[in-house]
Structure 1
């Protein structure tokens, strides 16, 4: 009895999830329904023309058997061929462009969802996995909704039109051909569940090897440094073999179904051929009519076979929709519309506790960073310095307690993603994008003038080396700043933050790759800014504390505050 309940719960859950998939697909497809409908109308029109082509072929063959062919019939025959050829080209072009628009729309929707969702929610997915969902899965859905589903509807209409035409000429053959339909439906139902399982496994295996390739190429220096080329190559082969295993299972099942359906249809065609040949031997029909019979009988079989061929596409739609909806389920960041703060900003933290799962990093933390403070945050590696910054920036939310920003005029701002609009942040490591130096700096301020860019470069102590580059601001750098030293890349990251001219600046070991002289020049420029910004500096260097008026020491889940000087 317990197992029956479990199976029922699982069935009910899958049914509800399937309903959610359908609602999401329908909701997203709404803007494209008119264009999809036009595409279907064109397809039905070509189906009708194909039937007329078959009927015209029969008439021409019968006329030829009687010793004459009219010019009109030849002209109509040629016009039909030309219309069908041109129409097919137009249909393919229209379908390709609609498919591209639809798939890009899904990719953009998923991309927008990722960049606007809570940061910690996106970290549950490997970037390679998200890329697979945005490309392969989005492509499967687009192909399914633009091509597969409309094709199935068109095939059913075609089945009805061809059956009606054949029924007018031979009721016996029309009814006989229709008996093949239940076979196709039963086989489709039997294969659907297994194909969905295999499709999900194929997508998961693609995610695994794509993620591996992306990660290993991003860290190619590590691969080379440990002479691990052969090992990584073997690992990729292992992942490929796993993908091959699931592709083989899926393809084998599809091939078996095609074999069964193909054999069934061949037997049906042989039956129709023998039946028509018998009628000719008894002089009951002409050769033209026999040609029409066989053509129409084949055209009845064709939609049924096409329905079976489209089955994997239908399965792919729902399998991929489930993977896309996993990302859609990530909660959006909260943004509170509130007026900005004026001048230097402070931040008050009260009774702050935070845990990753059940492991608490901070417990009942309280501190107040005053407007204009320069605060150095220190502590051993892994103690939670970067986690504290992520809390202040609302990349993650406190488990308990509150964080509130304020200014000297008494205005306050509750913690939400909105605070980032007023904070300049330089994270650890090299965070440059491929493209020009100008484009990288303008991420901090998209409407920045050249004058503002050079001022930011001055503040970050990197004007001199940028001026010496062949194309200056328009010099193209590679991914992660390839072509620059670590120190140069770090200073450009600083310039990108400083161009915002924010009143609250957060530097997470942002000077770790700089020499002491350059670091000193940079920190001195920050301290002399007017009005003086509030600045938080995570550091392992004691020299940085010379420019701070307060020191926060992180230990044992708490923050100890020390005044300096």
Structure 2
């Protein structure tokens, strides 16, 4: 056990950093937490007062005196205590919700502000677990566990002092197990922290699989892998259950041992009181105080020991949240170049997702107002080029620089997306109305601008035919409309932005040729015309492009 305690102490630097992070987040809630702790402490003191009033009640009844007033006082204290418990519990709920949302909001924002490549290292299910379960554990620790620990500490001290007034030997005896409980808790905390991390890791894998299989349910159904999917889900559940049970068995074993020790202490106090009564050295009322207060010395110690796993879980979850908050934030410059006509110059870019490079010293210049088609085999780097231009990662060597016809320049960064409009591959619609989806492109878009964008995307016809028009509600990934219609909504979302730099990444792949050409004609007719990059496999769109760029041998070159 000493070896484990030494390891715990040796890791104190990390533990203390997590605790400091928790304290920093807790500062705004100190007034509300103080109220909760005050109410909890008053409830604890009231319980001691009830024990003393109970003594008086028993002694007066034993002497044949009336106890009506004492009973009324007892009932009054009980009612006040219950009221304070209710207020404290409701306050704790409010603190929990506010605290949890505060952390979630900041972590969510950090995920949004982190380089795309760094975020994609984490599975969506894992990120969801950290944003929900881990944040919930930390919030519960702050709003419930820590106030309870302080309440128990005050209760322990007050009860010990009160019992010592009647019999200091019995008070010391009842408290004697505290050092053993503290040492056991330190040892237990080290073990439980590791087990909690395992529980959260398996929870992440469990959620990740559910999220992936539901997102790709058509693949599951197409290849008839329903049984396999259920079996895999069961295996992941069994893995999680193993660590959950192991964690709970460890905690329950320690709690049971401590509880048995305290039960022996209670029996000893009972025997002590019985002997004292037989010798006429105490009254029956004092006997009730002995039994009540001995239990209320030992009960806080048990509860304090049981709170250690919760604190450990809170620290372990805080570590997982901090890991996300430490992700590097993407670069965002304060000033943008004037965005009337914008080009981009790629100069000697080298980049790869692993050891193999996708680009090696690649250079190209997309001039303002030009329509450029980027062609090449699948997986050769077309979408990667878009991600680099949009600064979704800063891991590339070389430079990417935007410029305009006025000679202004700006390096690729997050702020440069203010003058970029992007239609990615695949179905990227949100659940909600068509209007809400289009306004993702520009939140302040007017009704006229929304209709203009729909017309430019050749989507006005089918949208106007829907029962509620642009206010028609669609499901996740455009459920309720066809793939081609969903793609046209995504194009309208990009067009409503009226950005001078437009990127279409296989954005017309689900459209028929006639509709595709009509959309491109509409974009080409803008005044001033935007700079447009079209990633495509269709040769038919080349008639609308000023030039064609290919990717070969990790280089960018113009097709002559």
CA distance in 2: counterparts of 1:39 and 1:249, whole angstroms: 33
Task: Give yes or no for contact 1:352–1:398 (8 Å, CA) kept in 2.
Answer: no
- Structure 1 residue 181 corresponds to structure 2 residue 182: no
CA shift for structure 1 position 398: 5.2
Q: Structure 1, residues 480-524: CA drift from partner, whole Å, max 9, x if none?
A: 000111100000000001101001100000000000000010001
CA shift for structure 1 position 70: 4.1
1:396-415 correspondence runs (5 A): 396-397=393-394, 399-415=396-412
Q: Structure 1, residues 321-376: CA drift from partner, whole Å, max 9, x if none?
A: 11111101110011011143242111111122112232211111121111110000
Q: Which moved more, 1:32-41 or 1:527-536?
A: 32-41
Inter-CA distance 300–376: structure 2 relative to 1 (3 Å threshold):
same
| SS in structure 2 of the partner of residue 372 of structure 1 | coil
| SS in structure 2 of the partner of residue 356 of structure 1 | coil
CA distance in 2: counterparts of 1:434 and 1:241, whole angstroms: 33
- Structure 1 residue 127 corresponds to structure 2 residue 124: yes
Task: Give yes or no for contact 2:337–2:403 (8 Å, CA) kept in 1.
Answer: no
Instruction: Return the match for 2:52 from 19, 37, 55.
Output: 55
Instruction: Return the match for 1:164 from 142, 161, 167.
Output: 161
- Structure 1 residue 214 corresponds to structure 2 residue 211: yes
CA distance in 2: counterparts of 1:531 and 1:289, whole angstroms: 94
- Structure 1 residue 461 corresponds to structure 2 residue 436: no
1:372-521 correspondence runs (5 A): 372-397=369-394, 399-521=396-518
Q: Structure 1, residues 226-276: CA drift from partner, whole Å, max 9, x if none?
A: 111111101111111111111111111111111101110110000000000
Instruction: Return the match for 1:238 from 226, 235, 238.
Output: 235
| SS in structure 2 of the partner of residue 502 of structure 1 | coil
How many residue pairs end up in the alignment? 557
Task: Give yes or no for contact 2:336–2:415 (8 Å, CA) kept in 1.
Answer: no
| SS in structure 2 of the partner of residue 364 of structure 1 | strand
| Residue equivalent to 1:3 | none
Q: Which runs of 5+ in 2 are unaligned?
A: none
| Residue equivalent to 2:71 | 74
> What value does the CA root-mean-square deviation take over the aligned residues?
1.6
Task: Give yes or no for contact 1:353–1:398 (8 Å, CA) kept in 2.
Answer: no
| Residue equivalent to 2:553 | 556
CA shift for structure 1 position 11: 7.7
CA distance in 2: counterparts of 1:21 and 1:254, whole angstroms: 22
| SS in structure 1 of the partner of residue 327 of structure 2 | coil
| SS in structure 2 of the partner of residue 382 of structure 1 | coil
Inter-CA distance 337–10: structure 2 relative to 1 (3 Å threshold):
farther
Q: Which runs of 5+ in 1 are unaligned?
A: 1-6
| SS in structure 1 of the partner of residue 509 of structure 2 | coil
- Structure 1 residue 308 corresponds to structure 2 residue 309: no
| Residue equivalent to 1:25 | 22
Task: Give yes or no for contact 2:61–2:67 (8 Å, CA) kept in 1.
Answer: no
- Structure 1 residue 532 corresponds to structure 2 residue 529: yes
CA distance in 1: counterparts of 2:10 and 2:375, whole angstroms: 49
CA shift for structure 1 position 99: 0.9
CA distance in 1: counterparts of 2:493 and 2:10, whole angstroms: 48
1:277-292 correspondence runs (5 A): 277-292=274-289
Q: Structure 1, residues 180-209: CA drift from partner, whole Å, max 9, x if none?
A: 111211211121111111111111111111
| Residue equivalent to 1:224 | 221
CA shift for structure 1 position 13: 7.8
- Structure 1 residue 264 corresponds to structure 2 residue 239: no
CA shift for structure 1 position 10: 8.6
Task: Give yes or no for contact 1:58–1:289 (8 Å, CA) kept in 2.
Answer: yes
Task: Give yes or no for contact 1:342–1:409 (8 Å, CA) kept in 2.
Answer: no
Task: Give yes or no for contact 1:376–1:538 (8 Å, CA) kept in 2.
Answer: yes
CA distance in 2: counterparts of 1:13 and 1:457, whole angstroms: 62
Task: Give yes or no for contact 1:341–1:412 (8 Å, CA) kept in 2.
Answer: no
Task: Give yes or no for contact 2:135–2:317 (8 Å, CA) kept in 1.
Answer: yes
CA shift for structure 1 position 38: 1.7
Q: Which moved more, 1:480-489 or 1:342-351?
A: 342-351
Task: Give yes or no for contact 2:330–2:394 (8 Å, CA) kept in 1.
Answer: no
Q: Structure 1, residues 110-135: CA drift from partner, whole Å, max 9, x if none?
A: 10110011111101100000000011
CA distance in 2: counterparts of 1:13 and 1:85, whole angstroms: 44
CA distance in 2: counterparts of 1:164 and 1:222, whole angstroms: 68
CA distance in 2: counterparts of 1:100 and 1:254, whole angstroms: 27
Inter-CA distance 298–10: structure 2 relative to 1 (3 Å threshold):
closer
CA shift for structure 1 position 449: 1.3
| SS in structure 1 of the partner of residue 549 of structure 2 | strand
Q: Structure 1, residues 263-310: CA drift from partner, whole Å, max 9, x if none?
A: 101100000000000111111111111001110000000110101111
| Residue equivalent to 2:187 | 190
CA shift for structure 1 position 12: 8.9
CA distance in 2: counterparts of 1:40 and 1:171, whole angstroms: 28
CA shift for structure 1 position 67: 1.1
| Residue equivalent to 2:61 | 64
Instruction: Return the match for 1:16 from 13, 16, 32.
Output: 13
Instruction: Return the match for 2:350 from 353, 357, 364.
Output: 353
CA shift for structure 1 position 62: 0.8
The runs of at least 4 aligned residues of structure 1 exceeding 6 Å deviation read 9-13
CA distance in 2: counterparts of 1:19 and 1:486, whole angstroms: 52
| Residue equivalent to 1:36 | 33
Q: Structure 1, residues 163-182: CA drift from partner, whole Å, max 9, x if none?
A: 00000111111011110111
| SS in structure 2 of the partner of residue 155 of structure 1 | helix
